[in-house]
A and B are shown apart, each in its own frame.
Chain A
Amino acid sequence: MGAAVSLRVRGQVQGVGFRPFVWQVAYQLGLSGEVLNDAEGVLIRLAPVDRLDAFMAQFWARLPPLARVDEVESTSERCDQPLPFPFTITQSQAGRANTSVAPDARICDACASELRAPADRRFGYPFINCTHCGPRFTIIESVPYDRPATSMKAFPLCPQCQQEYDDPADRRFHAQPNACLNCGPRIRWCGSDGHDLAIDDMALDDAVLALKRGEILAIKGLGGFHLAVDATNATAVQRLRQRKRRLSKPFALMVPTLACARRYVQISAEETELLQGLAAPIVLLDRQHQGRALAPEVAPGQPCLGVMLPSNPLQLLLMAAFAGPLVMTSGNASGRPPCIDDAVALAELGPIVDGFLTHDRAIVNRADDSIARVVDGEVQLLRRARGYVPEPIPLPLGLERADQILAYGADLKNTFAYVKQGKVLLSQHLGDLDDPDLFQAYQDNIALFGRLFDVRPTHRICDAHSGYHSHRLARQEATTLTVPHHHAHLASGLVDNGWRPEDGDVLAWVLDGTGMGDGSTEHALWGGELLLGDYQRCQRLTGLPAVALPGGDLAARQPWRNLLAHLERFAPHWQTLTLPVLRQLESKPLLMLRQAIARGMQSPPASSSGRLFDAIAALLGLNFEQIHFEGEAAMALEALAGQISPRHLPAQSAKPEPELTALWHTLLDGLAAGREPADLAYLFHAQLASELVAVARYHAEQHDCRTVLLSGGVMQNRLLQTLLRLQLNEVGLTPLFHRRIPANDGGIAVGQAAIAAARLRHVCYQS
């Protein structure tokens, strides 16, 4: 009998060592009470009440690394029975779905040192983990998150592991993937035909020797396979390119240590933190000017390298033994999605690799390596997957009551999202839904997320493009809203910046390839629009001039097509100019293409900024014929411009509409006058930024709106971002950029979700 306090803790508090942590704090303070998991998170009851402050101080100071507390709600209670003493962990009642599944986390320092300690019973064991680290999302099949619901169910705990699992004082208390060499998964070294050659330590040794010989390995990781090869061995890297038919797309690197990374790239404090963070993403870093030599084939022509540190114990052991940089690229065959299934991997990667370093724990959910970087001091995610998914993204205040929404995302770089209780559950990066297997995986993942998070959508939203596979799927349901592509970009940027509906409208320059507009312009396809709006609605104020895409989607693969279309539009006299690149263009079937453009046959007009970048790249002799991966020409153009040191360009005066004629003439004249392509590439970026700012300025005045959001895939261009930030600030406008939600189509689903939430707010959530 007496006073007690109960604390309701919400957030990511299950499966992350939360109860033992609470137990330890309470136990050490000599408190009475209990802690338990329930459907809403964690419930703590404790007494005496006057020790609450002491408890909370410890609580906040010692939170487990994977825990995320969104809310603690405390209520005082009077209880008839005295609370248990000493403080107890009470078994959870079975029943309602678990509220949270944590992302996979890189190996923690404690596990890493046990891994290296010869006396430890897990010395060199490649699946060591604890409640503070290891796999989560990638092994879960259903909820609640318990060992039988994961791919660890195939590995019954040995007595020692069981003891750790049951002991609240142990770091492995209820660590679902807890394992050791006696009871857990084991690694194997196999030939490219899948025949076992060695196991355990021997497997690792043989794999490392194979890598040193320059062989190509498939390595099974947490959320997928990697293809690995010695990054200093040019022949070996070239062989990987040939076998994977990946001609130029840069490969990511894995390095054993930060010190090793520094030999190749420059790393700031923020970047160090990102590399070493729990998510352990690939971080794009500038090369060292006098860096150590890597095989040039790793990332041809790229000023940046994508680098990651080992994040799971197998990688840690491998990298320690190999002691150098490895190419670590995703394990997929050309044109195929990354595989997670052993049999599929054998069939598809077998022809590419010389051997498999694999293991007997199934990958349940695919999670590619995430890609991030730091721009102007801010972390920006370019691909959100392993380590970040399925961490919920809160909708801003005002939309916090949104619930039971499914957003289907865009068709390329696809992610989808659910909304549950005001939070967006954004899926991992999946990819291009045009691939039949991926389209199937997309549908499977939609179902899986629905089960894992106990969401039964009552409302759905998809992109307005009727040719999107996601659109066709979504429209099979009656309650589906559609939304213009670029409004979704705008809304995703707003969510990323915590913008509340009551904060009003923003201006947004949304720059990307192409997406379906809202039907208000003669051209159906947009890609360089100035929008004004919020979550609920948005209008197009102006945009880049619409230019034909001769050949439709082919224009996105063959930059010269855009060069032709732009020249025909902005410099129709181009055939009278004497530039070699224009002679190259003349060798194309101009007559037929001109007819196609004139008659709009397979040449839809689009206000695409992505295709503008392609056209300029082609003009400057970069990727004139074709690109091999999305954004290749634009990246090459940015890299070329990066050779010039930035200089100040005075802001233009305000103007209502952007135009490109002067820009094209400047570039053509510059080329004719023999100016360096790098100089012109820089000039293009600077003039485009200045044009965008001048137009934003005009409309800021017109609509009395000082905030300018920058979104869309083109906004991943770091130089453009920097130029825009500087110029917008200079003219007194406030720029907003993407950070945790990708600016590209990987963030579309979040925007769609927020739009649905806003549109439904008055319908469903208020009464």
Chain B
Amino acid sequence: MTVLAKDAIITLAHGSGGQAMQQLIETHFVAAFDNSELALMEDQAQLPLAELTLAGDRLSFATDSFVVDPLEFPGGDIGKLAVCGTVNDVAMAGAIPKYLSCSFIIEEGLALATLERIVQSMAVTARQAGVRIVTGDTKVVHKGACDKLFINTSGIGIVPVDRQLGARFIQSGDKVIVSGTVGDHGAAILQARGELALSGTLESDCQPLNGLVEAMLAAGSVRALRDATRGGVAAVANEMASSAGVGITLAESAIPLHPQVRGVSEILGLDPLLMANEGKLIAVVPAQHSEAVLAAMRAHPSGAEAAIIGEVTNGSAGQVKVSGPFGGERLLPMPVGEQLPRIC
């Protein structure tokens, strides 16, 4: 690894297609991602089909763009987010994620050291998830044309022959499981922005979930999986309820919360069910498999605090309800923008 000047920054030259760019890619990206496909430095990656077809009968293909302020936050950074986000989207089909592409849009003036850290973090996360970053692109834009750094990743994975997951398979009586505490990422970002005067450390839950998914599918049958990112559990539950034409009832008291997230939401009146996660999934599982799947999740480091938080009902199709500790219920609609007070 080259030793960086302390104050080196990205300039427009790094995106010119010329020598500066070449050097940036070779010394930082190729070195960090370290795989044979990328090392060829072609404009595309060539992937061995035979190996893929042995693993399953369908490709799962997803793309996502990542923007976050700040770029680095407790528990992660935009690079880790970019790898986990796409890995998780691919994995929610029950697929085994294999390859990622990665595009950087960089605002001129970004510290080279920052980029270096983010790229390293992507490399570490990709290894952890067992995926290879095999192709990519870099653009540098004028100051103000983007905010420091945007990353797009796309990914493909293989869905094994016997796996059929999707919201359309959800049935009344199924259990709803969350893989751990809810709202950690949203709260960590607020804290990192200096918007919460929190003591203690609150970390984003940003993590790849494909290992957890494998453990779950080995333990029992699963109807549908969704990672609860933007819009939180509320968005996922609503999507599932409306596309399956079922009702979903969540039990407020069963929802796992980090004590600090609970504290923040009590002070600010935030609903953790609406807060973003970057390493939590919602699984809908047939009731008779729910305990086995839950046990497998809890035995996995990414699901230690997994819990059954609700169930699927056949009444009021498309509707998500939350039952309170004393028997009251409230509607949990699809989140739309800012939540303004309703009480008159």
Binding site for B on A (CB under 8 A): 245, 333-336, 348, 410-413, 433-437, 439-440, 465-469, 472, 485, 512-516, 524-525, 527, 549-557, 589, 591-593, 595-596, 599, 601-602, 604, 606, 610, 630, 713, 744-745
Is B270 at the interface (CB under 8 A from chain A)?
Answer: yes
Q: Are A513 and B344 in contact (CB under 8 A)?
A: yes
Nearest 10 A/B pairs, CB to CB: A335-B328, A551-B269, A554-B269, A591-B197, A556-B343, A513-B344, A602-B268, A553-B341, A552-B269, A436-B321
Q: Could you name 11 residue pairs across A and B whose Cβ atoms are closer than 8 Å?
A: A410-B344, A465-B340, A466-B336, A466-B337, A514-B343, A524-B340, A525-B341, A553-B343, A555-B341, A604-B340, A610-B344
Min distance, Cβ A590 to any Cβ of chain B, angstroms: 9
State whether B329 touches A435 (Cβ < 8 A). Answer: yes
Asked if B168 is at the interface (CB within 8 A of a chain A CB), the reply is: no
A604→B268 contact, CB < 8 A? no
Set of chain A residues within 8 Å of B269, measured between Cβ atoms: 550-555, 602
Which chain A residues border B337 with CB–CB below 8 Å?
466
Within 8 A of A (CB), among B304-343: 316, 319, 321, 324, 326-331, 333, 336-343
Tally of chain B residues near chain A (CB < 8 A) = 31
State the CA gap A410–B343 with chains docked (Å): 10
- Inter-chain CA distance A592–B260, complex, in Å, is 13
Cα distance A602–B340 in the bound complex, in angstroms:
8
Asked if B196 CB lies within 8 Å of chain A CBs, one says: yes
| Min CB gap A491→B, angstroms | 16
Is B333 a contact partner of A436 (Cβ separation < 8 A)? no
**Residue B3 is within 8 A (CB to CB) of chain A in the complex:** no
B198 interface contact, C-beta 8 A: yes
> Does chain A have a CB within 8 A of B215?
no
Residues of B within 8 A of A439 (CB): 331
Task: List the A side residues contacting B344 at CB < 8 Å.
Answer: 410-413, 485, 512-515, 527, 610, 713, 744-745
Residues of B within 8 A of A596 (CB): 195, 267-268
CA distance A413 to B337 in the complex (A): 25
- A335 touching B326 by the CB < 8 A rule? yes
CA distance A434 to B319 in the complex (A): 12
Cβ–Cβ < 8 Å partners of B326 in chain A: 245, 334-335
Known: A592-B197, A592-B198, A595-B195. A436 touches B339 (CB 8 A): no
Minimum C-beta distance from A333 to chain B (A)? 6
Beta-carbon nearest neighbor of B196 in chain A: A592
Q: Is the CB of B339 within 8 A of A467?
A: yes
B196 contacts which chain A residues (CB < 8 A)? 592, 595
How far is A606 from B344 in the complex, measured between Cα atoms in Å? 11
* Contact between A335 and B197, CB atoms less than 8 A apart: no
Which B residues fall within an 8 A CB radius of A? 190, 194-198, 264, 267-270, 316, 319, 321, 324, 326-331, 333, 336-344
CA distance A440 to B340 in the complex (A): 23
Residues of chain B within 8 A (CB-CB) of A335 are 324, 326-329
Please name the residue on chain B nearest to A334 by beta carbon.
Answer: B326
Flag if A553 contacts B333 (CB, 8 Å). Answer: no
Cross-chain contact A514 with B341 (CB below 8 angstroms): yes
In the complex, what residues of B have CB within 8 A of residue A245's CB?
A: 326
A333 to chain B: which residues have CB within 8 Å? 327
CB-CB under 8 A from A336, the residues of chain B are 327-329
Roughly how many angstroms separate A472 CA and B242 CA in the complex, as a whole number? 15
Q: How far is the CB of B251 from chain A (nearest CB, A)?
A: 14
Inter-chain contact B329/A437, CB cutoff 8 Å: yes
- Shortest distance in angstroms between B310's beta carbon and chain A's nearest beta carbon? 13
CA–CA, A245 and B336, complex, Å: 33
- Give the tally of cross-chain contacts (CB within 8 A): 119
CB-CB under 8 A from B316, the residues of chain A are: 436, 440
Question: Can you name the residue of chain A whose Cβ is closest to the Cβ of B334?
Answer: A472
Chain B residues near A604 (CB-CB < 8 A): 338, 340-341
Q: Which of B316, B326, B340 is packed against the most chain A CB atoms within 10 Å?
A: B340
Which residue, A436, A524, A549, A550, has most C-beta atoms of chain B within 10 A? A436
Check B327–A549 contact: CB distance below 8 A: no
Residues in B with CB closer than 8 Å to A550 are 268-269
User: Residue on B with the closest CB to A600?
Assistant: B338
Rounded to whole angstroms, the CA-CA distance of A610 and B341 in the bound complex is 13
- How far apart sit A553 and B340, CA to CA, in the bound complex (Å)? 8
In the assembled complex, how far is the CB of residue A212 from the closest CB belonging to chain B, in whole angstroms? 30
Apart from A435-B329, A514-B344: 14 A-B pairs, beta carbons within 8 A: A335-B328, A336-B329, A412-B343, A467-B339, A472-B333, A485-B344, A527-B344, A553-B341, A556-B343, A589-B267, A595-B195, A602-B270, A610-B344, A744-B344
CA distance A242 to B116 in the complex (A): 61
B197 proximity list for chain A (CB < 8 A): 589, 591-592, 595
A468 to B264, CA, bound (A): 25
Cα distance A440–B190 in the bound complex, in angstroms = 36
Rounded to whole Å, the gap between the CB of A444 and the closest CB of chain B is 12
Contact of A551 among B267, B321, B340 (CB under 8 A): B267
Chain B residue at smallest Cβ distance from A245: B326
Decide yes or no: A469 and B343 within 8 Å by CB, A334-B326, A555-B269 being known contacts.
no
Across the interface, B268 reaches (CB within 8 A) one of A433, A525, A592, A745, namely: A592
B264 to chain A: closest residue by CB: A592
Give Cα A247–Cα B331 distance, bound, in whole angstroms: 24
Asked if A630 and B268 make an inter-chain contact with CB atoms under 8 angstroms apart, the answer reads no
Chain A min CB distance to B247 (Å): 9
Q: How far is the CB of A36 from chain B (nearest CB, A)?
A: 45
Q: A592-B197, A593-B267, A601-B195 are in contact. Are A436 and B329 (CB under 8 A)?
A: yes
Q: In the complex, what's the smallest C-beta–C-beta distance from A322 to chain B, in angstroms?
A: 30
Shortest CB–CB separation between residue A397 and chain B, in angstroms? 30
Q: Could you tell me if A467 and B342 are in contact, using CB atoms closer than 8 angstroms?
A: yes
Chain B residues with Cβ below 8 Å from A601 are: 190, 195, 268
Cβ distance A567 to chain B, nearest Cβ, rounded Å: 17
Contact (Cβ within 8 A) A468 B330: no
* Set B194, B330, B341: member contacting A552, Cβ < 8 A: B341
Q: Which B residues lie within 8 Å of A485 (CB)?
A: 344
Min distance, Cβ B20 to any Cβ of chain A, angstroms: 39
Shortest CB–CB separation between residue B179 and chain A, in angstroms? 26
Complex CA–CA separation, A513 to B340 (angstroms): 13
* Residues of chain A with a CB closer than 8 A to B339's CB: 467, 552
In the complex, which residues of chain B have a beta carbon less than 8 angstroms from the beta carbon of A469?
331, 333
Q: Smallest distance from the beta carbon of A733 to chain B beta carbons, Å?
A: 26
- Give complex CA distance A744, B264 in Å: 33
A412–B340 alpha-carbon span in the complex (Å): 14
Of A245, A549, A554, A744, the most chain B CB neighbours within 10 A belong to A554
Q: Is the CB of A334 within 8 A of B267?
A: no
Closest to B324 in A: A335
Q: Give the complex CA separation of A651 and B344 in angstroms.
A: 30
The distance in angstroms between the C-alpha atoms of A552 and B195, with both chains bound, is: 16
Please state if B327 and A334 are interface contacts (CB–CB under 8 Å). Answer: yes
Q: Give the most central of A555, A589, A744: most B CB within 10 Å.
A: A589
Determine whether the beta carbon of B328 is less than 8 Å from that of A411. no
Contact B331 A599 (CB under 8 A): no
